[in-house]
Amino acid sequence: MDRKIGHMKQSINILLALMVFFFSACEMNEIDTAELTDFAPGLSFLTPSDGGKIVQGNFDIVAGFADGNTSPLASVDLVLMDTSETELFTHSATLSGTRDTLKLAAEDFDAASLEVGIYTLKMTVADSKGQVSEMVSTFEISKLPFAANNDEMYVAGGFNGWSWDSLKLVSDYTWEIKNLEMDGGEWKFKNTKDWSDQDWGDGDCNGVMEITTGGGANTNCGYSGLVNVRFNDQTLQYTVEPAVTIETNINSLFLLGSFNDFQGEEFEFTSTEDHIWVLDEIELRAGYSFRFSEGAFGGLSFGDNEPDSIADESAPNIKLAGDFPDAIYSITFNDETREYTFTFVRNLFPSELFLVGGSTVAGWDPASSVQFVSTGEGHFEMYTYLTVAGDGFKLLQERDWAGDWGADPANTGSLLQDGENNLSVSGDGFYRINVNFIDGTYSITASNWGVIGDATPAGWDADTDMTLVSAEKGNYTWTLDVTLGDGEMKFRENDGWDVNFGDSGADGSLEYGGDNIAVSAGTYTVTLVLDPVNGYTYSIQ
């Protein structure tokens, strides 16, 4: 009996506890709900954002507010102030509901008239129960949308005539220009259009600019083609990347062969479109052997098993046939099909050669250039008047600047194609220019003329000097008034036998080392004409 009463008391206690918990929980739930729907108004979003930056000009102010169901929104007072806390604009508006938005258009507060600087927004928001919240936010009006050390940024170089192309600020301190066509030459960054402030160059091509204001190395790192350029004006780091992504199966391509001991970076291909690699110029001769290689000193490479102009991985070297025409070629390689082709560019030796330059009678216009005389394959000669003034001269393969030749600064007396250095002379005078494309050399010899022979006053022992009387473009005339006796004579350069003219055909045309010229006694005007077009001629009258 006592055990039953004990069990009953225990059950009643448990039941009472459950009832107390239930009613307490209900009471707590009612209190939480009231608290959650009755709070002071708050800010849900704001433009311009607190601590944000906005570009000078027209912009709107937009603020979002929130409140609870028990005490919905009622009103807002907004004040715009400058850094001295001068009130520039005030506005009051009615709000309603648990969420509402205040939008002030740019013309409402004359946004375009606001100067660059820091501004404060003060907002006082009230709800229907009189609860008030005060919010303060600051923002910056800037010429730029992001932080930067410069207000403007430009790039200038040979590709735009050292003028300017504008970069755009795309993130903090980062300027960018897209689809810029570079030419592989020199360039710089600058922060004004007219070079009146700072400029930067990367002389050692390490990807970091140096301040070069007032003079300093240009960036000359071979960037060419359509590129995207970025520059950080805080760290001075920059990138130049292709504007168009090209799909390839290999990372790079080189031509390795008997002409470079099957190693080196000299003959590197350029990726021009999806899977297509091009080597613009290379001298190829019959019997040359070579292969395509992803690395300049080894690695994945391609030869040709057949050969069938389709390369094969790890195959034997490609060897040019014995009748392959020696010339300059471009080579195209497809890294997907592995097809390769050779395209003729020009002959190894120019078939014609022209003289152009400020130190010549032709000037710098290729169309007015003077033609050399061809003295054999790859050999040319010209007699011409040259001056020290005029910045020298160059040699042209055609009456155009394509493939022009200048002096090789590293090898005196040698030619360099597409080189910057002009040829020159140390004094004004009449010269003989000889060009040898077989070994890539040239010579410029001061040239003075005279006559020698037993018919001349000094006989065969010494020259009787002639006078240059006409130095017209491409036609040079030397004359001598002299009394000759019966006998023979020749024309000779610089009192030596290295260069002498005779007339083997007795027709008035001169040949190097030709036969002596027979004359009869008398007083004559002897004329020597060195004309590259009509030949070397003479008259004795």
The three-state (H, E, C) secondary structure of 343-410, written as one string: EEEEECCCCCCEEEECCCCCECCHHHCEECEEEECCEEEEEEEECCCCCCEEEECECECCCCEEECCC
| Domain range summary for the chain, segments of one domain joined by + | 1-36, 42-142, 154-242, 254-347, 354-446, 449-540
- 51: its two tokens: 């601590």
Place of tokens 């010429």: 143
CA distances from residue 46 to 64, 74, 91 in whole angstroms, order as listed = 6, 18, 16
Q: Please state, in angstroms and rounded to a whole number, the distance separating the CA atoms of residues 319 and 257.
A: 9
SS3 call for 510: coil
pLDDT of residue 474: 67
Helix/strand/coil (H/E/C) assignment for every residue in 485-502: CCEEEEEEECCCCCCEEE
CB neighbours of residue 119 within 10 Å: 18
- 299: its two tokens: 């690695």
Dump the DSSP string for 178-219.
EEEEEESS-EEEESSTTSSS-EEE-TT-SSB-EE-TTS-PPB
Question: 86 near 54, Cβ under 8 Å?
Answer: no
Q: Please state, in angstroms and rounded to a whole number, the distance separating the CA atoms of residues 272 and 152.
A: 33
In sequence order, what are the residues at sequence separation of 6 or more whose Cβ sits closer than 8 angstroms to the Cβ of residue 537? Answer: 508, 509, 510, 529, 531
Q: Does domain 449-540 have CATH number 1.20.1070?
A: no
Q: Please state, in angstroms and rounded to a whole number, the distance separating the CA atoms of residues 241 and 11.
A: 82
Same fold, 154-242 and 354-446: yes
Q: Does domain 42-142 have CATH number 2.60.40.2550?
A: yes
SS3 call for 123: strand
In sequence order, what are the residues at sequence separation of 6 or more whose Cβ sits closer than 8 angstroms to the Cβ of residue 236? Answer: 200, 208, 209, 210
- Find, among 373, 366, 351, 412, the residue nearest to 530 by Cα: 373
Q: Please state, in angstroms and rounded to a whole number, the distance separating the CA atoms of residues 131 and 97.
A: 14
Q: Please state, in angstroms and rounded to a whole number, the distance separating the CA atoms of residues 65 and 70.
A: 15
Q: Does domain 154-242 have CATH number 3.40.50.620?
A: no
Answer whether 0.85 is exceeded by the pTM: no
Question: 385 near 416, Cβ under 8 Å?
Answer: no
10, containing H or E segment: helix 2-36
Question: 503 near 511, Cβ under 8 Å?
Answer: yes
CA distances from residue 144 to 29, 118, 152, 171 in whole angstroms, order as listed = 52, 13, 9, 10
CB neighbours of residue 85 within 10 Å: 9
pLDDT of residue 246: 87
Q: Please state, in angstroms and rounded to a whole number, the distance separating the CA atoms of residues 287 and 291.
A: 13
Cα 342 from chain centre: 27
Considering the segment(s) 254-347 as one domain, its CATH architecture is: Sandwich (2.60)
- Find, among 287, 293, 285, the residue nearest to 319 by Cα: 287
- 113: its two tokens: 């008239």
CA distances from residue 153 to 55, 184, 218, 242 in whole angstroms, order as listed = 16, 21, 16, 20
pLDDT of residue 475: 78
pLDDT of residue 36: 63
Question: 249 near 336, Cβ under 8 Å?
Answer: yes
Burial 213-250 (b: 16+ CB within 10 A, else e): eeeeebbbbebebebebbbbbeebbbebeeeeeeebeb
pLDDT of residue 29: 46
- pLDDT of the chain, 541 residues: tens digit per residue: 343 334 434 443 433 344 444 444 444 444 455 566 788 999 999 999 998 888 899 999 999 999 999 999 999 999 999 999 999 999 999 999 999 999 999 999 999 999 999 999 999 999 999 999 999 999 999 888 888 999 999 999 999 999 999 999 999 899 999 999 999 999 999 999 999 999 999 999 999 999 999 999 999 999 998 999 999 999 999 999 989 888 999 999 999 999 999 999 999 999 989 999 999 999 999 999 999 999 999 899 999 999 899 999 999 999 999 999 999 999 999 999 999 999 998 888 888 999 999 999 899 999 999 999 999 889 999 999 999 999 999 999 999 998 899 999 999 999 998 888 999 999 999 999 999 998 899 999 999 999 999 999 999 999 999 999 988 776 799 999 999 999 999 999 999 999 999 999 999 999 999 999 999 999 999 999 998 778 899 999 9
Considering the segment(s) 354-446 as one domain, its CATH architecture is: Sandwich (2.60)
Q: Torsion-angle region of residue 357: left (phi > 0), alpha (psi -120 to 50) or beta?
A: left
How many residues are listed for the chain in this entry? Answer: 541
